[in-house]
Amino acid sequence: MDFDAPMVAPARGLDPAWLDYNGHLNMAYYHVLFDKAVDDVFERIECGPGYLAARRMSFFTVETHVCYVQELKADAIVSASTQLLDFDAKRIHLFQELRHEEGWLSATCETMFLHIDMSGPRAAPMPEDVLARVGQLAEAHKSLPRPARAGRSIGIGRKTDG
């Protein structure tokens, strides 16, 4: 199975209903755009809706961090890229960039996903075939540089006396 490095979702415009009173994309819809790109990745590793229907397993988001870099206006055309940073038997760690068609960075999203057995629901190891496909994705992405914004945390830095 061949994977692009990074994987890039098809470009799309913004729904006018997604704009806020400031005239730019509301923060919630950045998540929608990132989530749609993740859906593309899960389809490629055969873990989309068919996986849930056939095997009663899925992935849940357990943590996400979005950085808003540059606002998007109503007429923007954007695409989201996805890079696999790491994985183990139960987790997938992805990093995404949302870029305007002109190439500039609008936002980033870093997310941890947990593999779920829906009969519980409970966390469960990925089946061997899924783990193998995620491994192939990791192999395709291993030469990509670690994104500078990966691993960021949020907080107010304080100066200390001394």
Q: What six digits make up the tokens of 29?
A: 């819809």
pTM comes to 0.94
Angle at CA of residue 91, ends 85 and 93, nearest 5°? 25
| pLDDT the model gives residue 157 | 85
pLDDT band at 159 (very low <50, low <70, confident <90, very high): confident
DSSP state of 11: P
Half-sphere exposure of 153 toward its Cβ, with a 13 Å CA cutoff? 3
CA 69 from centroid of its chain's CA atoms: 16
pLDDT tens digits, one per residue of 62-119? 999 999 999 999 999 999 999 999 999 999 999 999 999 999 999 999 999 999 999 9
What value does the CA radius of gyration of the chain take, rounded to a whole number of Å? 17
List the domains of the chain with CATH numbers. Answer: 15-141 (3.10.129.10)
For 127-145, write each residue's pLDDT tens digit: 999 999 999 999 999 999 9
